[in-house]
Amino acid sequence: MKIGEEAKNHWLAIKNARLDPPSWGYEDIGAFFLLIVSLGPILRLLTRLRFLSRSAIINPSVGLQSAVVVFLGAGLYSVLRFRYRQPVLKSLGWVVPQMVHIITALIVGPSFAAGIALYLRLRNQITPPVPIVELLVLGLILGPLLEESLFRGYSLPVLAQTTGTIPAVIITAVLFALFHGPTNLVHCVSFTGTGIAYGWMRAASRSTMASALMHAAYNLVLFLFTRT
């Protein structure tokens, strides 16, 4: 009973939390997602011009994936830095979280990964092993940096001003899942569930760094399970 009451009080605290109101708005979020959608035609054009091969598009290398992440990150940076003239990292919530949130991120992230890995094994679903270079570059650094900046740092505060914090956490989690192009229901549910956990951490800690730490810890533990 006591644990249930503590969990309820914690969610109430998040519901009543007020993230710092952003200077950007829905039109900026829409413009950035339009940039994401434009990546497809841009890559196809580069293929037609023979700057990229079709095989590179079907099985993108770490270098190509990193270039895409850097391109999107530069677009996000440009909006905040040149349109709104404000410090980018601080505006997106990249501040050092309290120790309690660091510890929580390092517990909850791996716990989610272990649970998902166990579920997949029980269903005899094999997760393809990720090359270690891809894990280090994308899974632990560039991926969490961009995705948490976009969904929890950039989109969540705008949505929270309209819907409240908890609906905003759920909405950004769904967008996060769609962004990864899930191929089945299990993938969709797992991405949405982890997205909710990252949003919860962002709201509880008021730090995007905390949600990125949870994100990276999740990726690392899931990688370790695919190796065993």
What is the tally of structural domains in the chain? 1
**In which domain, by residue range, is 55 found?**
2-226
Which residues 6+ apart lie within 8 Å of 105 measured at CB?
A: 97, 201, 210, 211, 213, 214, 217
pLDDT digits 0-9 by tens, 130-154 = 788 888 888 999 999 999 999 999 9
3-state secondary structure 84-132: CCCCHHHHCCCCCCCHHHHHHHHHHHHHHHHHHHHHHHHCCCCCCCCCH
Q: Is 60 exceeded by the pLDDT of residue 12?
A: no
Question: For the whole model, what pTM was predicted?
Answer: 0.88
Token readout for 215 is 């994100």
* C-alpha dist (Å) from residue 42 to 46, 57, 119: 6, 11, 38
Residue with the larger pLDDT of the pair 9 and 36: 36
Residue with the larger pLDDT of the pair 202 and 18: 202
Give phi and psi for 88, each to the nearest 5: -70, -55
The amino acid that residue 32 corresponds to is F
- Return the pLDDT at 79: 84
Contact 35, 72 (CB under 8 A): yes
Q: Is 60 exceeded by the pLDDT of residue 4?
A: no
Contact 140, 67 (CB under 8 A): no
State how far the Cα of 165 lies from the Cα of 110, in Å rounded to an integer. Answer: 24
- Return the pLDDT at 55: 84
pLDDT digits 0-9 by tens, 66-110 = 999 999 999 888 888 888 888 889 999 999 999 999 999 999 999
Contact 217, 109 (CB under 8 A): yes
Count the Cβ atoms, other than its own, within 10 Å of residue 16: 10
Contact 11, 5 (CB under 8 A): no
- DSSP code, position 227: T
Q: Is 90 exceeded by the pLDDT of residue 175?
A: yes
Q: Is 90 exceeded by the pLDDT of residue 160?
A: yes
> SS3 for 157?
helix
- Banded model confidence at residue 57, pLDDT cuts 50, 70, 90: confident
Which residues 6+ apart lie within 8 Å of 182 measured at CB?
A: 188, 191
The amino acid that residue 92 corresponds to is L
Average pLDDT of span 114-120: 87
Average pLDDT of span 202-213: 95
CA atoms within 13 A on the CB side of 31: 13
26-48 and 62-78 helices, crossing angle to 10°: 140
Look over the chain and give the mean of its residue pLDDT values, rounded to a whole number. 86
State how far the Cα of 71 lies from the Cα of 148, in Å rounded to an integer. Answer: 16
